[in-house]
Chain A
């Protein structure tokens, strides 16, 4: 058993009672990683020495001056820059890159007294949904090592599910926090666009990217979001909207909550076991006093095409900074500057990244801009309006996070309907910019399933309230994979 079966509150209690120290917690993380990461393959870089020094310093801070996350270990997705700690985005092109400043979220974690344990694997530049697109390693699902953990924040979810660390940060551009959270049976929140500063998040699609917390329970997730949220002068798209005390209203009471279930979310391609788990979840919510009604988000079917164009276009622009000149990988044996650019990028980027850069460059090029990029931006408006309309009459929208449980490593989704359902469940939420969480809601053949709860802009509070009430009424979050006990 590990200390990380405990919640943040229980860990603080243990620290307070002198049962263990912050140094013990830090050591626990590294010993869990040593024991389990040969199988799980979640970590790219470890921050061992610095973390242990920091832990000793934190242990000497008087207990009265500590917040709810003080001294607790956390892992960071490898597209979030950490000063002095290698950050690669799981790409060869950033091999050996040592950031010279911390992302705003990393600074905020330090202010909260959290201890960074290491950097977590991902699909290269967050492009993918299985972690198989990493240039370094393929992270496995702790519930069954033959299955993927999801992606792109696959290792952020897998490391928490395996009990290597109790907290992690991921990022979500089209489902990259929620889908791995569902596959790994943990809690993952994609906040409202603008809720969390993106300063120091290596950009994939700037108008969609958002950093968010992954934890083992809803209460801890709310604590962690509160710690990282807020306006930042270094990110002009961060919103100047007050950050509420998210945990203040977590009391299990959702009487009168108006829940909408879009018929598009339970359509073709969604497996029967997932539909069944959602039907059961809706009964739980009804039993808690919520009303549940079916609605429609008619433009959902266009989300994938719009997303591909918008995300790839922004990626082609954002990734132009990787040119081999100022940091990262640099091709050898070139004659001139143009060749250096082209060879560095051809050798440094993986296949999926190149494809998206090509698609984006094409969408933005003369003659196609209006037909593709501008059209996709207009379709985004229609998708956002779908959500605005539903939220005039409802408090939250509920559905599955993914159409199936985690698929096997090496087995791409071949069924086009499943692939389509996979994207329709998460991508429109990023296009609409609204917040959404995935929480555990069942199992199929030993693999977890996820319930997605979507809220209004900047209303993470209602999402957490709903998720907490559901969690208190069920015990899916209390289960741990076999690997948890060690071999």
Chain B
């Protein structure tokens, strides 16, 4: 079984921006191992020269007229922001260890 190591799981959790404990990592390693093992069955299928489908519609590009449209008001967009100052979104320090 393609069980992931705890280190691999922690790396994936970092990429996904999820804080996880050692215990979580153990649990995810097992669950992800099971699912990826199950997904291995796809390799039975020969897909040489089969085009991947990103979605089923024959749509490639959708264009609109190049006309400016008014967006939402800033005041409205700030309504759900927890921390703000002078109409700007406030976040904790970015560069701090």
Contact = CB atoms under 8 A, between A and B. Distances in A.
Interface of A: 97-98, 100-101, 193-194, 206-207, 233, 236-237, 239, 299, 302, 304-306, 308-309, 316, 320, 323-328, 330, 334-343, 345-346, 349, 354-355, 357-359, 361-362, 365, 371-372, 374-382, 384, 431-433, 457
B69 to A, nearest CB: 9
Contact of A359 (B35, B50, B53, B97): B35
Q: Could you tell me the dominant secondary structure of chain B's interface residues? A: loop
Contacts of B83: 330
Given A376-B42, A378-B50, A433 B57 contact: yes
Interface string B42-55: 11010100111111
Contact of A378 (B52, B55, B56, B97): B52
Q: Could you tell me the dominant secondary structure of chain A's interface residues? A: helix
Contact of B17 (A194, A239, A323): A323
Contacts of A316: 16
Contacts of A302: 41-42, 45
Contacts of B68: none
Contact of A345 (B9, B15, B18, B56): B18
A446 B64 CA distance: 53
Interface string B78-91: 01111100000101
Contact of A326 (B4, B51, B76, B81): B81
A308 B64 contact: no
A380 B53 contact: yes
A233 B72 CA distance: 16
B40 to A, nearest CB: 8
Contact of A382 (B36, B47, B77, B89): B47
B32 A362 contact: yes
Interface string B1-42: 000100001001101111110000000100110011011011
B76 A100 contact: yes
B50 A358 contact: no
B92 A340 contact: yes
A379 B57 contact: no
25 contacts: A97-B80, A101-B72, A194-B57, A207-B55, A236-B59, A239-B59, A308-B39, A320-B17, A324-B82, A328-B80, A330-B82, A336-B93, A337-B94, A340-B92, A342-B18, A346-B19, A359-B36, A361-B15, A362-B32, A372-B39, A378-B47, A379-B45, A382-B50, A431-B56, A433-B56
B59 A342 contact: no
B16 A361 contact: yes
A12 to B, nearest CB: 35
Contacts of B4: 362
B42 A305 contact: yes
B56 A233 contact: no
A327 B17 contact: no
A378 to B, nearest CB: 4
Given A97-B80, A193-B55, A236 B62 contact: yes
Contacts of A327: 80-81
B96 interface: yes
B17 to A, nearest CB: 4
B55 A237 contact: yes
Nearest to A84: B79
Given A97-B80, A305-B39, A342-B19, 20 more contacts: A98-B80, A100-B72, A207-B54, A304-B38, A320-B17, A325-B81, A325-B91, A327-B81, A330-B82, A334-B92, A337-B94, A345-B17, A346-B18, A358-B13, A376-B39, A376-B42, A380-B52, A380-B53, A384-B53, A433-B56
The 10 A-B residue pairs with the shortest CB-CB distance, nearest first, are A433-B56, A377-B52, A327-B80, A342-B19, A378-B47, A346-B19, A236-B62, A207-B55, A361-B16, A341-B17
Contacts of B53: 377-378, 380-381, 384
A355 B29 CA distance: 10
Nearest to B76: A100
A365 B92 CA distance: 28
Nearest to A99: B80
Contacts of B16: 316, 320, 345, 357-358, 361
A358 to B, nearest CB: 6
A326 B89 contact: yes
Contacts of B35: 308, 359
A358 B24 CA distance: 11
A336 B45 contact: no
Most buried by B among A309, A330, A343, A346: A346
Nearest to A336: B96
A350 to B, nearest CB: 12
Nearest to A306: B42
B1 to A, nearest CB: 15
A430 to B, nearest CB: 9
A433 B55 CA distance: 8
A349 B16 CA distance: 12
B19 to A, nearest CB: 4
A346 to B, nearest CB: 4
Nearest to A432: B56
Nearest to B17: A341
